[in-house]
Structure 1
Amino acid sequence: MKALIFDPFSGASGDMILGTLISLGADRNEVCEAIESTTDVSVSIEKVSKKGIAAVDVNIIVDRETHSRHYHEIVDVILDAKLPKPVEKDVLQVFEILAKAESKIHDKTLKELHFHEVGQKDAIADIVGSCTAIRNLGAEEIFCTPINVGGGLVETSHGTLPVPAPATLEILKEGGLFFYGNGKREMLTPTGAAILSHYAKPIENMPQGKAVSIGYGAGKANIDNPNVLRIMITEIEEPISTDRVEVLETNVDDVTGEVLGNLFDKLLKLGARDVVIIPATMKKGRPGSIIKVITRPEDSPKIAREIIRETGSLGIRVLSTKHRFVANRKITTIEVDICGQVFECRIKVAEDKNGEIMHISAEYEDCKKLSQATGMPLKEIIRRVEETSWDAHLKK
């Protein structure tokens, strides 16, 4: 799995995040075009040395700054930029994280909310550029180690505030990110916190894997330690395979058991990976059922159509899942001695990606036939087949 891991041992800000992503290989032309199409700035990107570490330094050059903006004004700026839809969605969600934190701290509605520092052109540029760069790198997962927020006090448009600033702390709380304080100045800005909160899952330690590439983004602080943000692309080895699925779900309360049984078989023939029908109590105490189907995303439309045709449901919920973990499965045949006779029986073998056997199960229909042929109880046939199978595989 290709994972993007932020390591903010010296804090994070919007320009530091943008610098690390460009250092890591994000297309700087695409990033600059996105920024300059959104707001009236120019972008300067250069290499600098921070305490001996080569890092990318991004400067957003603003000719004329605007006054503070209302939240809805920033939303309009983003929508007017006509960014690619996935990037636009991410940018709006980052600003929503900022807005909700500021709204709570200042006890203002989103409609009343003014952005000061994060409403300026350079902050908009940092967020648009970072969201564009992350999409450009195409990581499957994004993680963040504990963030150094610094310490002491910071000067803001609202006066002198403790570090982390109240809005920053609120974002950390809502995002569930791990953090600690080490230093005498602000090391994590609200913009940096919002970007990391939107994208990254918190981790306490680096996961086991192989570093593919590493980047450093320069901060502006002049401190004893290197003021850089480190980021890396890591190949994290997953012992279990994955595939992509969707879960379709609907509630019905006027469908007979015969219809549901027929639907069950039809959906499996159409390619459903699994079908579950759960008894439920509906409105006004009526008995009903919850139909849940696991399917490949490309099969969802035809399966949803069949559910509607057969049950009369007016809508099918799609429970989006990024992926599921699956064992590699194969069916093979084993010879088993039962009452002095040797029979063949099929078994299902589940393995991880390294070939390690995780589970063995006897094929029901074959075991049923052996039970009928020998007169031995079905559960004993299953036990013997699986026991023989494990013994045979462990000897290999």
Structure 2
Amino acid sequence: MKALIFEPFSGASGDMILGAMVGLGVDRAELAEVIESVIDVTVSIGTANKCGIEATDVRILTKSDQNNRKYSEVIDAIRETSLLPEVKKSAIEIFRIIGEAEAIVHGKGLDELHFHEVGQDDAIADVIGACYAINKMEADVVLCTPLNVGGGTVKAAHGSFPVPAPATLEILNKSGLEIYSSGNRELLTPTGAAILAYFAEPTEKLPAGKVLATGYGAGDADTDSPNVLRTMIMKVAGELSRDTIEVLETNVDDVTGEVLGSLYDKLMEVGAKDVAITPATMKKGRSGHIIQVIARPEDSTRIAGELMRQTGTLGVRVMPTKHRFIADRRIGTITITIAEQEYEVSVKIAQDKSGEILHISAEYEDCRHISNISGLPLKEVMRRTEERAWKIFKGL
């Protein structure tokens, strides 16, 4: 499995990410051409020595003083570009992350939000370039070790704040990325934080594997240690996939069995990934149930509303969860023979990202149908199906 790994031990910014990706092998002329084709800037790519470390130095030279775009203007400008769909989608989502953080900090809606620093041409160029370069890598997984946000204070529109800046902190708050503070100046910019928040999953340390390439992106700061962003491409052993989830939970003590019986299907219809209903003893000895729902963060509000409508509960808790490990799943078809009659059966195959099979299970409805026709007990049909599937798909 191909892993792209960021090591922001000296922070991260948009131009540091661009430099690191060029250091990994992204064609510098091609990157500059992509950026300059969609925004009126000049891209300069050279090298810089940072405390003895030779790093790629990317500088975005702006031709316009425009620095006060509305959020909607930035999004519309990206939509109107000729960028590849996946690059365009990534850039829009990164500015949505920045926009939502700024909206929280300033107490405004996205429609009335104005970008200042992150609305300038160089910030837009950084995001577009990073999206192009990271997508170009075609990595199976993107990982980020703990982020050094720096230290001291940073100047904001209404005075000084401790590092990280308020918008950066809000971006980190929803990212799941791990952070720490070291140094006496700001090392992590909102743009750098948003790019990593969108693309990368957190990892406490480097995974086991073989290093295929390394890259260093130069920062602007002159610090006691190298102000560079290190990246690498690694070939790592197959791992389980991860997705970001939230766990919604509520207690009910006055809901009938009939309502609970239909609740599972209702919640799955509005986007729940899984639903569990557990009997419980409530206050004053009343019998009740605990309802837990696994959901994607973007679906949580809709699912919580449906949970309230169906059960009458007055509150739904959101349990803090970073992510869950999941197996990649696919459907296969095999043929089994019973009393000289052949039957096709679907099987669910769970595997890790390297393709190693973890589990095979027979499709219940297919096996039940075959059991009814053949007269063979259901459990025997399922056993034969799974045994046959292991031999076929594992080559046993």
Would you say same fold, with TM above 0.5? Answer: yes
Corresponding residue number in structure 2 for 1:6: 6
Residues 281, 163 of structure 1: CA spacing in aligned structure 2 closer, same or farther, 3 A cutoff? closer
The structure number with the bigger radius of gyration is 1
Alignment partners' CA distance in 2, 1:47 and 1:203 = 29
Unaligned runs of 5+ in 1: 242-278, 293-321, 332-347, 365-371, 373-377, 386-396
Query: In the alignment, is the contact (CA less than 8 A) between 1:154 and 1:163 conserved in 2?
Result: yes
Amino acid at match of 1:110: L
Query: In the alignment, is the contact (CA less than 8 A) between 1:240 and 1:326 conserved in 2?
Result: no
User: Could you tell me how far 1:138 is from its partner in structure 2?
Assistant: 0.9
The answer to whether structure 1 residue 224 and structure 2 residue 227 are counterparts is no
The answer to whether structure 1 residue 88 and structure 2 residue 82 are counterparts is no
User: Could you tell me how far 1:240 is from its partner in structure 2?
Assistant: 7.8
Pairs within 5 Å for 1:232-381:
232-238=232-238, 280=262, 324-325=327-328
Amino acid at match of 1:118: V
Alignment partners' CA distance in 2, 1:42 and 1:323 = 43
Pairs within 5 Å for 1:60-209:
60-209=60-209
Alignment partners' CA distance in 2, 1:190 and 1:12 = 9
The answer to whether structure 1 residue 56 and structure 2 residue 56 are counterparts is yes
Q: Normalized against structure 1, the TM-score is what?
A: 0.64
Q: Normalized against structure 2, the TM-score is what?
A: 0.64
Amino acid at match of 2:117: E
Residues 76, 4 of structure 1: CA spacing in aligned structure 2 closer, same or farther, 3 A cutoff? same
Alignment partners' CA distance in 1, 2:153 and 2:101 = 19
Amino acid at match of 1:93: E
Alignment partners' CA distance in 2, 1:167 and 1:161 = 11
SS at match of 1:95: helix
How much identity, in percent, do the aligned residues show?
Answer: 47
Amino acid at match of 2:328: F
SS at match of 1:58: strand
User: Could you tell me how far 1:24 is from its partner in structure 2?
Assistant: 0.6
Query: In the alignment, is the contact (CA less than 8 A) between 1:239 and 1:354 conserved in 2?
Result: no
Residues 107, 136 of structure 1: CA spacing in aligned structure 2 closer, same or farther, 3 A cutoff? same
SS at match of 1:43: strand
Please list the CA deviations of residues 269-322 of structure 1 after superposition, one character each: whole Å capped at 9, or x if unmatched. Answer: xxxxxxxxxx74699xxx9x98x9xxxxxxxxxxxxxxxxxxxxxxxxxxxxx9
User: Could you tell me how far 1:360 is from its partner in structure 2?
Assistant: 11
Alignment partners' CA distance in 1, 2:129 and 2:361 = 50
SS at match of 1:69: coil
Alignment partners' CA distance in 2, 1:109 and 1:8 = 31
Residues 104, 359 of structure 1: CA spacing in aligned structure 2 closer, same or farther, 3 A cutoff? closer
Alignment partners' CA distance in 1, 2:333 and 2:263 = 39
User: Could you tell me how far 1:65 is from its partner in structure 2?
Assistant: 1.6
Query: In the alignment, is the contact (CA less than 8 A) between 2:127 and 2:191 conserved in 1?
Result: yes
Q: How many residues align?
A: 304
Alignment partners' CA distance in 1, 2:118 and 2:108 = 16
Query: In the alignment, is the contact (CA less than 8 A) between 1:116 and 1:157 conserved in 2?
Result: no
Corresponding residue number in structure 1 for 2:33: 33
SS at match of 1:223: coil
Amino acid at match of 2:211: A
Query: In the alignment, is the contact (CA less than 8 A) between 1:4 and 1:232 conserved in 2?
Result: yes
User: Could you tell me how far 1:217 is from its partner in structure 2?
Assistant: 0.2
Residues 42, 354 of structure 1: CA spacing in aligned structure 2 closer, same or farther, 3 A cutoff? closer
Residues 222, 325 of structure 1: CA spacing in aligned structure 2 closer, same or farther, 3 A cutoff? same
Corresponding residue number in structure 2 for 1:318: none
Amino acid at match of 1:226: P
Alignment partners' CA distance in 2, 1:84 and 1:230 = 27
User: Could you tell me how far 1:114 is from its partner in structure 2?
Assistant: 1.2
Pairs within 5 Å for 1:209-220:
209-220=209-220
